[in-house]
Every structure is written in C-alpha cells, then in structure tokens.
Amino acid sequence: MTEKQTFRPADPLGIQRVLEPKGVLPQQAEKLDPALPIAEDELLIEVESLNIDSASFHQISKACDGDVAKMEAHILALVGRRGKHHNPVTGSGGMLLGRVTQIGPNFPVGTKPVQVGDRIATLVSLSLTPLHIRKIRSIHPKIDRVDIDGYAVLFASGIFARLPADMPETVALAVLDVAGAPAQTRKLVQPGNTVAVVGGGGKSGLLCLYEAKRKTGVKTVAIDYSQAALDRLSDLPFVDEIIQADARNGVEVMEKVWAATKGQMADVVINVANIPETEMSCILSCKQKGIVYFFSMATSFTRAALGAEGIGSDVDLRIGNGYTEGHADLALELLRESPELRRIFTEQYS
C-alpha cells in the first residue's frame, strides 16, 4: 500500500510560513519556516544555484573581505537564521535555478504550466522564498552565483520561467535575474530621447542600453567606472557615448553628461549601479521633467527624494519594480536578437 502524502493547507501568499513576526507577508518577515511538507498549492524545487542580487553579493563580499570561506559561512548563517536569502543590509535577495521535484495538488498548473522534472528559474525574490541549504558547493565571485545543495518552496502566487533550450542555463539565469530592467526601459523611453545608464557596463545596464536603442532616434550614454566595464561597452553598436566616472561623484557625472549631451542632459536616466550613494549623479544628469528610474537595490529612496528636492530638481523618480508583464520573454528575446549581447553574456556567465 502506498503511503498517503500530507500537505499543509493552501496559502497562495505563504503567510503560514512566516515565523516572526506573525501575520506579515513573507518578504517583510524576519524569519520564514522552510520545513516540509509543502502546502497543497506550493511547488518544491531542488536548488542548484542561487543568483544573488548584485548589490547584496557586493555587500556580503565586502563584509567578508572578499574571502570565499567567510562568505560561505556568512550565507549559511544568514539562510539558517532567516529561512530565506534576505540580506538585512541591502534588503534584497536574488533568484534561483533548480528542478521541480514536487507539485502540490492545488498548484495553479492551468495558468502556470509546470511538470515534475522541469528546470526553472524563479522570478520572485529570494527575499521571500523559503530556502534550506544543505551544503554550499561553490561560490563564483565574478558572477554573483552560489551553487548549493538544498531546496526551496514557491508559493502559488510566485512566478517562474522554464529555462530556454537555446542558451546555456547560467546565461539565461543572469538575464532573467534582471529581466525587469529592459522591460521597464521599453515602457519609459520615447523615440528621440537621450538615455543615460549609470552602471551601464553591467548585466542590466547592457540590456537597458540595447532596449533603449531599439526606439527611433534614441541616443544612449553609458556611465561606468572600471576598465573591465568600459571594455565591455566599447564598440557596441547600441552605445553612442561611454563615460568613465564614479557614480558616487554626482558633480563629475553631471559635468561629463553635460559634455556628452551638449548641455541637453538626459530625458531618461536608468540607475543600475550595484553600490550605494549613486542617487545624485542620476538626478543631476536628468533634465527637468525627465525620468530617473532606480532599478538598483542599493538605492536609498530617502536620499533620492530629499536630494532631488534639495537641488530643486523637478524629475520623476521611479522605483524599479523587478516585474512587468512579459519581462522574462522580452529579456531573453533581446539576447537572441543581439549577437553582441549574446557574446558578452556567454563570455561572462556560461
């Protein structure tokens, strides 16, 4: 006789998984319960890799002096304590790649088709995803990735993407991690705009620059700091101007954007730098009534709002929602369309 499986009751938002403080949503929670069994509307995923949010990975690396053994201990302690990979300093998480091992009988497979054995990347933040790590297998500091043995739980409300067959999974993971950025760029940029991307040589920066340039008459300006980032940006047909500047230095960035735009400044500024204190360089680079889009998780919204007010800057400050409808397909499509993006992402992430 086969043993009857038991499940927790259905709970689409995962509120029953919150241990502290009781009653809040999983993202706000200090601590989640990742224990099995799953609920009748949850998915169980055997996790292979965590793609840690760049701002979070950078913070952890700095706190551990770049020492991989210390980072491993830090991550194990963090997930052990919180039941999720939710960095308390940056507030951010990341996403994961794994294989579906169990589907609760009431998981909404009609709207979210999935089968046991599918390889998926979650598109909801690790900051709300119940996670148990049995072992860290390796840390890849250059690409913010942590390979683990462990499992995670996805709520019925969660979203995920099945991994495409036409590109390496780690490349797809890197693209899906920041899929919201190019999708929001598509909404924000108008034909003829000047678009400045702060942190333009990174994952989301390159995707945003490419997407912006698809609109007629757009001028793109990429701002980055390290030689490696500048090398990635050089000779790309969708980047019109490259500025080397430290995004923490608002005046330097403003002066260089002024020169690159002949004093016009940018209609849309996109912040995808992975470090704090870059708000003012974005605000100062934007023309009056323009839009500054903060995708970076290192953004302080207090600093941005008070900073803009303090210099009498009438710009529209937008929070970088990581999700917009169709964002995963759009981001993967850009990689299929652009040989340059595919080359850079493949070199960096496969």
As measured in angstroms, the least distance from the Cβ of 145 to ligand NAP is 11
CA 166 vs. chain centroid, Å, equals: 22
| Residue 289 neighbours by CB distance under 10 Å | 10
Judged by CB under 6 A, the stretch of 77-85, 102-110, 245-253, 303-311 that binds ligand NAP is: 245-253
Contact 329, 163 (CB under 8 A): no
Nearest alpha-carbon partner for 338 in 223, 186, 211: 211
Q: Which of 248, 303, 318, 342 binds ligand NAP (CB under 6 A)?
A: 248
DSSP tag of 307: H
Taking CA 269 as the corner, what is the angle to CA 267 and CA 273, rounded to the nearest 5 degrees? 170
Closest CB to ligand NAP among residues 8, 232: 232
Give the residue carrying structure tokens 């039941």.
Answer: 83
Judged by CB under 6 A, the stretch of 42-50, 217-225, 300-308, 324-332 that binds ligand NAP is: 217-225
Binding mask 91-120 for ligand NAP (x = CB under 6 A): -x----------------------------
C-alpha dihedral, 95 to 97 to 103 to 106, nearest 10° = 30
C-alpha dihedral, 35 to 38 to 43 to 47, nearest 10° = 20
Q: Which of 127, 170, 193, 204 binds ligand NAP (CB under 6 A)?
A: 204
Looking at residues 147 to 186 of the shown chain, list those that interact with ligand NAP (rule: CB under 6 A).
177-178, 180
Binding mask 285-314 for ligand NAP (x = CB under 6 A): ----------xxxx----------------
As a whole number of angstroms, the distance between CA 301 and CA 102 comes to: 39
Phi/psi for 324 (5° steps) reads -145, 150
Closest CB to ligand NAP among residues 39, 175: 175
CA 62 vs. chain centroid, Å, equals: 19
Closest CB to ligand NAP among residues 136, 253: 253
247 binds ligand NAP (CB under 6 A): yes
As measured in angstroms, the least distance from the Cβ of 224 to ligand NAP is 5
As measured in angstroms, the least distance from the Cβ of 211 to ligand NAP is 13
Contact 334, 210 (CB under 8 A): yes
Phi/psi for 114 (5° steps) reads -160, 150
Closest CB to ligand NAP among residues 27, 102: 27
Closest CB to ligand NAP among residues 88, 108: 88
Kindly report whether the peptide bond that precedes residue 141 is cis, defined as omega within 30 degrees of 0: no
Nearest alpha-carbon partner for 71 in 54, 88, 58: 58
Phi/psi for 204 (5° steps) reads -70, -35
Size of the site for ligand NAP (CB under 6 A): 32
228 binds ligand NAP (CB under 6 A): yes
Closest CB to ligand NAP among residues 189, 197: 197
As measured in angstroms, the least distance from the Cβ of 35 to ligand NAP is 28
Q: What are the residues binding ligand NAP (CB under 6 A)?
A: 53-55, 92, 177-178, 180, 199, 201-205, 223-226, 228-229, 246-248, 272-275, 295-298, 320, 322
